[in-house]
Amino acid sequence: MTFARPDHTSHPDMLPRMPVWVISARAETLEDVAFLSGAALNHLHLVLGHADVPQALLRDRLALRAAEACVAFSGRPERAAELRDAVHLLRPGDLPGPAGETYLAWRRVVERPVSIKALGRALPTIEPGQIAAWLDAGQGAPVTRAAMVLEAVLTEAPRSDVPALILADIVLAQALGWDHLMPLLATGLKRAVLRKRGDDLRLACHRALVSSAVEAVRLSTDLVRRATHLKAVAPKLRAKGAGDAVEMFLTRDAFAPSALPLPDRAARRLCDRLVDLGAVRELTGRDTFRLYGV
């Protein structure tokens, strides 16, 4: 289903806050942890229903975090900055490398509504029939279904961390009635957890979703604040194509100036102007090959 949109405009301070007891509770049993994860996911659902939460931008930033976690699982050194470079500084004909491929898979899967076709684009090395079979492996409540899919994929393909986590998040989204995948499990799980099975894996998934839902709510609040400021300064921009550039910044984690719908020099000036206005950030700290994002 599509999130219901309140009629009022959502100021970041108006977004419902995660209940303190969800954050501070120290549950040990599967039943208690499941209760907390349900409360956290329900609260995240309420936050996502607010009109000013930039959904695409939130998903894209969570995709970066999920990719970073998956790359760390594989023992590779790349972190967020290197992942951004691997994707945004690609030249025609270049290959993104293993870490870049992981990031691209997460970005592709959050771009479009959940479907086998969209999953095939994100996971091109897996047959659609296999994807469908794994998605059908889960039964029961949302988190239980996600854990069962995670276990099914990793049992049949032990090195397939990225497909397993993507498909588990897909099942979770479907069970919660979300149109798009929201990357949650990868950012909350530890590498060793992926070797667990049965109730131990379910318990770990519930714990992971408490922490990742809390973080997603915090990030949503931060992005609403940043997006609101960007929209407020947009009328001050005089460059032709600035409006389209602003809309792009509201949908993606980062951009190189060359990706914006302006001539190169005008795009760089626009990015610097937005930085001066406090509306976007330069993300690399470099003098050249810069990347910008809300």
Which CATH fold topology does 237-293 show? Arc Repressor Mutant, subunit A (1.10.10)
> 105: how many CB neighbours lie within 10 A of its CB?
24
In this prediction, residue 13 carries a pLDDT of: 62
For the chain, the straight-line distance linking the first and the last C-alpha, in angstroms and rounded, comes to: 28
CB 209 within 8 A of CB 37: yes
Residue among 106, 107, 172 at smallest CA distance from 135: 172
In this prediction, residue 35 carries a pLDDT of: 96
CB 238 within 8 A of CB 275: no
293 pairs with which residues across the strands? 281
Residue 100: pLDDT over 80: yes
In this prediction, residue 18 carries a pLDDT of: 93
For range 138-154, the mean pLDDT:
96
What is the band of 16 on the pLDDT scale with cuts at 50, 70, 90? confident
In this prediction, residue 3 carries a pLDDT of: 47
What confidence tens digit (pLDDT) does each residue in 113-133 have? 999 999 999 999 999 999 999
For range 52-67, the mean pLDDT:
97
Handedness of CA 197, 43, 251, 171 (dihedral sign): positive
C-alpha distances (whole Å) from 82 to each of 26, 122, 181, 289 are: 35, 20, 24, 12
CA distance 70 to 59: 16
Residue among 7, 73, 6, 4 at smallest CA distance from 45: 4
Any residues with CB less than 8 A from the CB of 197 and at least 6 apart, and which? 151, 155
Q: Which amino acid is at 145?
A: R
